[in-house]
Each structure stands twice: as C-alpha cells, then as structure tokens.
Chain A
C-alpha cells in the first residue's frame, strides 16, 4: 500500500536503530574498524596530552592525574589479593612492647588532678580553641575613613569593611551622629558551624559576637574576622545537659575570612 502524497519518507519509531541492526546486520568491516579504533585510542590520548597547551592542558592533566592514581590503586589492590599479607589484627589492644612492660598505666590520682586543672583553666577564661593565634587586624584594614562635611574635610566617620553582626533589635543612631557605619550588605545572621566530632556542618543563626581577638572595639561593634569567637543557636542540634536542660547556645570560632568568601564558617567549641 502506498500513499498519495509525493513525499513518503520513513518516520523512525521507537527502537528503529536496534531493529535495523537486527535486520541488516552491520557493515562488513565493522568489527575490524572497531578493533582498530580502540587500539588507536592510546596513541591519540598520548598525542593529545603532549600537544595541549594553556588552561585546557592544566585541567586535562589534573583530571588525568587523578585517573592514574585510581588506576594505580586498583592495580595495587589486585596485587595484594594475589600475595599473602601479615595479619595485623591478631595483636590485641593495649599490647605493649617488651621494653615497656615494667611501666604502669596512668593512675587514678593523675586523672583527678587533670580534671581540677581543667576546671581552673575554664574559670580563668583561657579557652582551648582550634585557632589559638590569629593575625591581628589593624584599624586601617577594618575601618575605612569616610569624609564628610561641606568641603569633605571632616574625617571622623568610619565604615566597617569586614563582615559584622548586629542584633535583632539593632537600630542605627541618627546618621549625623553615628561614628561607625556598618553597611547592610556586610551584615550576616547565619554561620556554617561544623561539629568537630560528628564532622557535620549546620547552618545556625548567630546570637552574638563573644570576642574578637584583634581588639575589644571590634567585639563591641560586632565585627567578625578570622578567629572571632561567636555564640550560635544550637537548639537545632537537640543537645541536652546531664541535668536535663536543653542547650541552646554554644560558642564557635570562625575559621575563614568571611569578607573574602561571603559566608561565615566556624567550628563548634565543645
């Protein structure tokens, strides 16, 4: 049966490619060509790797490097399977080499005295923080001079150039009198806090800035730089004290430069 229209072309439907292959087979030299093409691949890849230049080459080499590492690992795994290995699990926990057999383990007294020392440290306010030493930020770095006045001669205003936190109930002072300008674009409310043991990161609202290591002025202003200790709302995590009370605020220390990254990353202080 043929149709009346002039153009009677074949409209491929569903699996027409596979059907064609089933009915007509493939080219007579198909397998030969396929084999040759696959064997040429190694040469072409090496030619490409040698001749590429520029950014493209950097990206390609990086990717290729990681591929090769994977290949090496797999090969090594296969090799390990073939050879016999020393079984390390047989040595029990706490086993001590011969020359240490005479020493005794830590006594209970030592444990108690350690506890007392820690309590004293906490009282003194000396915290064990992930970043003990941070680069101090000078005033010219953090505060920018804003010139005002009819002839732009007065230079008593300052604008904060780093990320800062202002509370919920914050209202500016009248613009004529405010000395420190904290621009809205640089105000952040949330921080990405990582729990060091769980290794999980949560986006938690900031409650306040506890201490800025560079200067107490920054602490009062709420400036957040690297190394600042902030207080975050951890009610999300559902932590409970031994007494049964729900913990909803904890301290965290900022680990990145927020003004460069656009976000505040912090590590929870447990």
Chain B
C-alpha cells in the first residue's frame, strides 16, 4: 500500500513544456560532437544513446505521474468517493490510463529504433533514424495534451483539499444552507470559514480542530443540502453526502429556528427524515440555532411538537445561538461525550480490547476498619474544576475593561504589584542612580542578605576600624610624596637607578641570596645583553652593567630608550647573534611572501580552479565569466 501525500504530487507539465524539457535535456546531457570519419560502432552508439536517453526521461517522468496520483482503490473510501464526486472516477482513470499507454508506446518506439540503428551503416542514416525516433516519441506526447491538462487541474485541486482523518473523533455539521453551520465551526475551532448571508457560501468541506478532555477533535463543516432525491444532487451537495456516508462521526443536524434561511421548520424536518438513513450508527444531536431571534418556547404548537418528538426519540435538542454563544459549549460537550461513549462501546465489543483488558487491573484497597477514608481533593483543584465548568461567571479581564472604557483605557500593569508599602505602586523607578545602574543591584534575596549582615556586625566593627586606619595612612603617604619637590617630570620607579648596596641590603633582608656576580644581574634586564650602540653615544656595550648612581645619562630620553630595548634586540647577545636572528626571521617570511600571505596567521585557501569556469560544454562565449 503506497502512502499518498496529496500535497506532494509533482507538477504535471503541459504537453508542449514536457516535450521542450525532455528534448533540451537530451541536447544538454548527451555528447554533441560526432564526425563522419569516426568508426561506425561509435556513431551508432552515439545516436542510440540519445534515443535511449530521451526514452528514459519520458518513462521516468510519466511513471512518476502514475505513482504520485492516488489509485482510487488504494485510498480510504471516503477520499475515493470524494474524488469521484469532484473529478469523476471514469475520467480520472481514463486520463491515467492514457498516460500509461503513452509510456508503453514510447518504450516500444525506442526499442524498435534502437534495433534498426544496429543496421545503420552511415552517419546520415543513423542520424535520420534518431530524428525519426525522437519525433515519434514527441508526437505521442503531443497527443496527451488533454490528459495532462486535466491531471494538472486535478492535482491543484487535490492539494488544497482539507486533510480530514477519517478514523479519528469527528463532529459533522449538516443541514440546510444558511442555517449557521459555518458560524458554529468558527466559534468552536480556529477555522476561519466564510460566513455570508447568501446560500451556498460554503462550497466544499472545511475542517477545524478543537480540544476536549485532552483529546483532539475534528469538526467538519459541509455545504448545505437541499431536499431533493439523490440523483438530482449537484457536486457541492454530493460532497456533504459523501462526508455523511463515510465518516464515523457524531452528526450535528443544525436547524434554523427563525426560518431566516428561507425554509420552514417543517421543510427542515422533512430533510432530516430523508437523510435519516445516513445517520445510522452515529450519535446524533439536533442543534436549534439562531435562538437569539426566536426560542423554542416562542414557537407555534406544531413546531414545538417537532422538537418534542425528537426529544422523545432520544435525540437531544439543544438551543444555541452562534451570535451570543449561548449553548455552543453545551452542544460541544454533549456531542463529544456521546461520541466518546459510542467509540468506547464499539471498542469494547471488538476483539482487540481483550489484549488491553487482560493487562489492566483496578486495585481496590480492602477495608481495614470502619474509619472512612474518602479521596482527598485539595481546595485548589476544586476551585479550578469549578472555573472550568461551563457558564461560570468569569472574572473581569483587562479586555473587558478596555471595551468598557473605550478610548480612556490605559494599560497599567503596576496595579497588580505586591509591595510592602502599597502607596509606592505607582512610583517612578529610576534606572541610574548616583552613577550606578540599578538593574545591576537587584537581588531577589536582598532581605535575607541584610539579615545575615546584621549578625556579623560586631566583628565587622573592629575590622572596619582597622581598614579606616590603613586607608588614612595610605592617603597621608601619597600626599607626602606629592609634596616632595622633584625637579622636572615625575619618572616612574622603574626608570630610577638602584644602587647596588641598597639592592643587596633590601633583598638580603627579605631572605634572597645576594652573593655572587649573577645575583644582581638578575634584577637588570639589560645586564648580560647588549644595548643598542648606535642609539646613544653615552651608553656603551658592556658585559656587565655597573651600578653607578653618579653617572647620569646625558639625556632623559636616551635613558628611557636604553632601559627598555626594542624587541629585536631584547635577548640578543651580540651582533653575530643579532645577524643570525635576523636571518632566521627573513627565512621564515620567505615562504609566506612567496604564497602571498599576509602573515603567519593567514590560512586562506584560494579557489584557483573554480568549477563553474572549467566544467560543462564550451559553447560560444569566453571562459572568463561563462
């Protein structure tokens, strides 16, 4: 059983398009160059390939059409019947049959001509045979013009049919035109069916979905049915009849109490009796609509009797008004309950239920003593259940307020806030305060933290004292140092020269071993290392830099540069090493430069032979842009 998806059927091309597509495909996808002087088997193969390729394409496309379109025997009888009503089963089957015949004919043509081509002894002959073969196949397709057009229209209509699941829970609305079926479905589901005052506004089936008792329900809206025998019914009414006949659903027969649809109650009752046979085995409900205009109690005696009779036959009659929404929920719950009961009943009668029943066991606890132990339902659940009940007074929503106040309405969400001080509800909250973003400081646990802090207050007092003292002393130090009289710009500490003695004393005091020549050199960043000679005449190349506070550099700027050497000199011992370092650097860069890279992080891979410039046939045009 193939799985059909009506929305995924491939587009059926027109016959002209079909021929064009296939021929141009043959021309593009098979080799095009052949010469007279090639060996005959090569020439034959070349032309045979074209014939076979064309045949293959036609065959594939036609087979796809044949498999995509549903076989009326394979799909659910509801859909089969619906398609018969809409598209005429005979015409449909004929069209597909023609396509099948065309496919076989094309195969035969290809076989014949390939056989003939084996006797072709010249290029001209093979070429003519190929031309004849292709022409023949295209003529066969030309003859299929009507079938292809019809199938395309069927496909378009089929893809827009509503997806009705014939096996699931369904409510079916039926009745005269203009009684209020579409309004009902609009109220109960999210389907947006057009509602207009003229009859036959709904011209085909519509489906909407709704929820009840945590299950998904389908509601199917049908076009109105008029009261005449089956043979005289037109396509629109037949769709409704098909839905009634094949869907296992609860039927809601909608009647118009006010007779605004143009038919009296008597006529509506007539229709009801006429289509009674279709309601066999289905839970039935009569919906008396438009009760805001006229109630059952306001009707005449005869009409009241109609409804009384119906109720006597065990068919519930419910008054509704889709305008005021009165009774709509009741209808819904009634119908759903009835249908569920019916479905459960039929399932219980079936065979499959025993598998499940065998595994189910409801355990009832045995009584220990006389103490009553009723089920415990919390208060919240009771309240919730009550609110779910139909026709309970709803609380006033903002929407209702808005409707009341009209233009005066202002949305004020702050009135629902729960603050300690209720007066502060409408205060303006600043966003930035004292240079701080208030949002950063919002902490939902702020009260708790405050409590904890209060406990620690005692210890904190001493620590605070101490901290305050430290702070004050530091400030004093800063002020003192600022007041020191320094000639010239203030140099950072690192620029100053440190005497060897002071260094030794300090570090020795801290516990560092200062004996040995190398110890001190550790603290200088240019002791072992050469200082750039050409940069300053005063600074010479020294093996070990002498710590002489008295020898001041000739200029400040020079001393700065001397104390922080450039990167290509830092760590370099002597000119020989410097040269070697430079050579290394350059040799590494050579590779990158040759490949045109920006640096060692450049890993871009260029596309030197882009596919679009090198592939495909070379027709007239350049290779630069193709």
Is A185 part of the contact surface with B, judged by Cβ < 8 Å? yes
Query: Which one, B74-82, B206-214, B243-251, is touching chain A?
Result: B206-214
Contacting pair B207 A19 (CB below 8 A): no
* Distance, CA A3 to CA B128, complexed state (A): 66
**Chain B contacts of A262 at CB under 8 A?**
112-113, 116, 129, 132-133
**Chain B contacts of A144 at CB under 8 A?**
121
Is A260 part of the contact surface with B, judged by Cβ < 8 Å? yes
Interface size class of A (residues with CB under 8 A): 20 to 34
Is A32 part of the contact surface with B, judged by Cβ < 8 Å? no
Contacting pair A53 B116 (CB below 8 A): no
Query: Which one, A8-16, A93-101, A116-124, is touching chain B?
Result: A8-16
Q: Using an 8 Å CB-CB cutoff, how does the interface string of B120-131 with A read, 1 for contact, 0 for none?
A: 010011001100
Contacting pair B119 A186 (CB below 8 A): yes
Is B194 part of the contact surface with A, judged by Cβ < 8 Å? yes
Contacting pair B209 A3 (CB below 8 A): yes
With A1-B190, A185-B118, A186-B119 known as contacts, the answer to whether A15 contacts B27 (CB < 8 A) is: no
Name the residue in B119, B125, B162, B163 with the highest tally of chain A Cβ atoms < 10 Å from its Cβ: B119
Q: Using an 8 Å CB-CB cutoff, how does the interface string of B9-32 with A read, 1 for contact, 0 for none?
A: 000000000000000000100000
8 A Cβ contacts from B486-500 to A: none
**Chain A contacts of B621 at CB under 8 A?**
53
Is A2 part of the contact surface with B, judged by Cβ < 8 Å? yes
Name the residue in A4, A16, A185, A260 with the highest tally of chain B Cβ atoms < 10 Å from its Cβ: A260
* Distance, CA A94 to CA B470, complexed state (A): 141
Question: Closest CB of chain A to B124's CB: distance in Å?
Answer: 8
Q: Of B112, B132, B160, which contacts A14 at CB under 8 A? A: B160
Question: Closest CB of chain A to B522's CB: distance in Å?
Answer: 68
Is B98 part of the contact surface with A, judged by Cβ < 8 Å? no
Question: Closest CB of chain A to B141's CB: distance in Å?
Answer: 17
Contacting pair A161 B119 (CB below 8 A): yes
Q: Of A4, A11, A54, A185, which contacts B119 at CB under 8 A? A: A185
Q: Of B113, B163, B210, which contacts A11 at CB under 8 A? A: B163
Q: Of A1, A11, A263, which contacts B132 at CB under 8 A? A: A263
Contacting pair A13 B119 (CB below 8 A): no
Contacting pair B121 A161 (CB below 8 A): yes
With A1-B190, A3-B190, A3-B211 known as contacts, the answer to whether A185 contacts B115 (CB < 8 A) is: yes
* Distance, CA A11 to CA B194, complexed state (A): 15
8 A Cβ contacts from B175-214 to A: 187-191, 194, 203-204, 206-207, 209-211, 214
8 A Cβ contacts from B97-119 to A: 112-113, 115-116, 118-119
B residues with CB within 8 A of A? 27, 112-113, 115-116, 118-119, 121, 124-125, 128-129, 132-133, 160-163, 187-191, 194, 203-204, 206-207, 209-211, 214, 216, 619-621
A-B contacts, 9 of them at CB < 8 A, read A1-B189, A1-B210, A3-B216, A13-B160, A13-B206, A183-B119, A185-B116, A262-B113, A262-B129
Q: Add 11 more A-B contacts to A260-B124, A262-B116 (CB < 8 A).
A: A1-B187, A2-B190, A3-B211, A4-B211, A13-B191, A14-B160, A53-B620, A144-B121, A186-B116, A259-B125, A263-B132
